[in-house]
Amino acid sequence: MPLVRKMGPGLWEVRSTIDAGIARVLFTTIGSVMVLLHGFVKKAAKTPADDLKLALRRMKEVHHG
């Protein structure tokens, strides 16, 4: 069953269990549109810093050009 949690201002994570582990997709919204920023299979308890930085950089590009 997918779950969603807020990762920071304007940044959300949806997660779902798959055969390879726990799939994560970081996303933002623009109005009623969900913009998928980065997806990965998480293996550690904490979201890897590089994955979070990539999503934040893409979110900035999406919102500010």
Q: What is the pLDDT of residue 7?
A: 94
Q: Mean pLDDT by 10-residue block, N- to C-terminus, for the chain (65 residues)?
A: 88 92 94 96 86 96 91
Quick one: pLDDT at residue 34?
Answer: 96
Q: How far apart are CA 12 and CA 59, in angstroms?
A: 11
Inter-residue contact 21 to 41 (CB < 8 Å): yes
| pLDDT value, residue 44 | 77
